[in-house]
Each structure stands twice: as structure tokens, then as C-alpha cells.
Amino acid sequence: MTPGRTLRRALPLAGEAASVWFRYNFLEPLRPAPSLPRAMHYISTHRCNARCAMCGIWKNQNPLSEELTPQALGSILADRLFSRMEYFGLSGGEPLLRRDLIQLTSTILETCTRLKRLSVTTNGLLPGRMENTLPELARLCRRAGVLLDVSVSVHGMGETLDRIYGVPASFERIERTAGLLLRMRTEGALTFSFNTVLLAENLESVRRLQGWARERTIPMSFVVGEQRQRFFTEGLESAFLETKGNPELIGFLASQAEDPAQSAVQMEKYRELVRVLEGRGPRRLSCYYAMGGLLLGFDGRLYYCSHSREIGDCTGRPAYDLYFDPGNLRYRKQALFGAECHTCPPYTRTRWEIEKDLPRMLLASVRRRMGRAAR
């Protein structure tokens, strides 16, 4: 690409980044109520084919009849609350168990007309279904001008992964899934990455997995396993790492923060994660839920974020009214922003969040370059 063409492409992006930085750091905090949300996560089902050691959702699977149909989802998304939606995450349970995933996706693309990116999170254990479904999802997204991104949850290799997933030969399935995603990435149909939960028994295995993924240029992101009511983790405590002052865990994350093979954005994320886990002050990196996001449950219940209490049921009351209900907004400001956010680990790094953290991300980029030059 010629320098002139690069500049012509870079300038609008830089302008947009500067505008998000200014608006969300200086204008939004002055508003009495938040703007319309621009990012959401939809948990399409609580049904799952895995039997994960650190998640109890599979023991509490919902009947099919409780899931929003594509029509019901469309009615909810038609509410003005969703009229500015740009980033849409779709997960489960396992979303590929939804036989109507293509219709659900069509509904999302037809109702959220400003969408820029659709992210699908899967356990990667159903390569056959993925081969049958993903090309059509990619086609729909391309037609709508929306970037399709797939996040595959993989927590190790070999027997370790089998034990964590409770599924035999799980890595063989992951390899087949990765093969499909690599082919589709080469065709420009999507982007994808591995998302790995750090647990009591997998630190060694994920190091091997990271080497395997790097050989194939698959980006990988680590999160620390968390015990949460939403994942029904009661009784599963032994699966999790001790997070407070655990030298092994901190050492692993600190090595990621200094790893020159990581992007500047990821390095900064791990630096911040270590800081929060070591109790050296509240979280400073932005969160898209706090900037203006929401979470929609498989049955139509609404939440401000993955740590929020339920704020109402969209099948009984308009989503806009729930989101802007004065009591709910008070809860958002006091219990979430005033307390929960301080210790909430920074895992997502969407473009929107990066733009809000612009000066810090530029510094992280300079720091990475200088670190590389010094090596």
C-alpha cells in the first residue's frame, strides 16, 4: 500500500478514536443519564454439550421453550434502546446447539443496522456443526458489512483439556475447528482467537497450547477463572486458582505482560490484571459495559453487565424503560461503578475501549517498541 493510501485510511480511524476518547472521558461523565448503549452481549442459551469443571451451567440447562425465538429476539431488539448498537457478542452455553443460529443471526443483522462487529463465542467442540453453519454466518455478515469474529474457549491440551471439558478427545475436535477457522480466515471471512481460562490444573498445559497456537498465528487471550453465581460455580471451588497473592498465577500473567510476542494492547491488559490481583489500586482500564453496554439473557432478562444483578425482563417491559429506570440507574452508579468495577478484572479489549484509553494505549505501544529495540 502506498504511503498516501495508508494515510487516507488512517486519518478517519484516528479521528474516530479521538472523538471517542474525548466524548467518553469528558462529555459522558457530565450527562445525568447514560447515552444509548453501543455494545451488548447476548447469552443465546444455557444448554451446553461440555461438562466443564469450572462451570455449572450444564447442570442447570434451560428447557428449549424458555429461549427467545428469533422472532422474540427481534421484538426485543426493535426497542429504541438497541438503535445505536455497534458491537454484538453472542454466546451460551454453546450457541451452536441452537438449531436456529442462522435465523438468530439474520434477526440481529436486520434489527441492529449500525452493527460493526458480531462476535460468537463457542467451546469449539462441535466442528461438524460449525462446518455446516459458519460459512452461512460469514456470508450474512459480509452482506451486512459486519466483521465476524469467533472466540474459541480452549483451556489446555490432551488429557488436561479432556478433564476440564469432561469430553473425551476434546483437543482433536479443537484442531478440526481451528482448521476450519484458519481456512476461513485466509479467505478473509472472519477473524478468530482462542480464549483460555486459567485454572488450578492447567497452567502448564496452557503454556504448551500457547506454543501450538503461535505456530499457527492464532491469537490467544487469558482470563483467570472466577467463581460467579451466574455460572453456578458453587461446589466447584477446587477447580479454581487462588487469585490473591498466588505467585504462580501472578508470575504467569507478568510474563505475558512482558512478552514481546503480545500486542501492546494485550501487554497493557496483563499489566493491569497483575495490578488489580495484587491489590495495588482500583481498575483503570475502560470497560465497554460501563461505557454503555448491556447483557441480555437467553430468556429476555436484562443486566447492565456480567457482574450486574438482573434489572428486569424485556419480555414484560420495554428494554429502554428497564435500562433507564431511575432505581436501576442508581444501582448501576453506586453498586457497580462505585464498588464492583474497582476489582473487576479487565479482560475485554474492544476497539471502543481502546479508543477511550487512547493516550495510555499509545504509551503502551511506545513502551513495547522501545522494549523490542532494547532486545
> What is the smallest separation between the CB atom of 69 and ligand SF4, expressed in angstroms?
28
> What is the smallest separation between the CB atom of 15 and ligand SF4, expressed in angstroms?
27
> What is the smallest separation between the CB atom of 68 and ligand SF4, expressed in angstroms?
22
Residue 305 within binding range of ligand SF4, rule CB under 6 A: yes
Q: Which of residues 18 and 339 has its CB atom nearest to ligand SF4 in the complex?
A: 339
Grid cell listed for 46: 444455557
Which of 88, 289, 323, 352: binder of ligand SF4 (CB under 6 A)?
289
Grid cell listed for 176: 478440526
Binding mask 99-128 for ligand SF4 (x = CB under 6 A): ------------------------------
CA distance 266 to 264: 6
Binding mask 328-357 for ligand SF4 (x = CB under 6 A): --------x---xx--x-------------
Task: Name every residue whose Cβ is closer than 8 Å to that of residue 76 and which is 6 or more positions away in sequence.
Answer: 68, 82, 296, 300, 314, 315, 319
- Contact between 52 and 166 under an 8 Å Cβ cutoff? The reply is yes
Angle at 191 between CA 190 and CA 197, to 5 degrees: 135
Which stretch, 54-62, 134-142, 198-206, 286-294, contacts ligand SF4 (CB under 6 A)?
286-294
Number of residues lying near ligand SF4 (CB under 6 A): 10
Q: Which of residues 205 and 233 has its CB atom nearest to ligand SF4 in the complex?
A: 233
Q: What is the 3-state secondary structure (H, E, C) of 243-268?
A: CCCCHHHHHHHHHHHCCCCCCHHHHH
What are the angstrom distances between the C-alpha of 301 and each of 41, 156, 336?
A: 12, 33, 18
Residue 224 within binding range of ligand SF4, rule CB under 6 A: no
Residue 290 within binding range of ligand SF4, rule CB under 6 A: yes
Residue 181 within binding range of ligand SF4, rule CB under 6 A: no
* H-helix segments, the chain: 3-22, 70-77, 101-111, 127-144, 158-165, 170-186, 203-215, 247-257, 264-277, 288-292, 319-323, 326-331, 351-356, 358-374
> What is the smallest separation between the CB atom of 348 and ligand SF4, expressed in angstroms?
8
Binding site for ligand SF4 (CB under 6 A): 287, 289-290, 305-307, 336, 340-341, 344
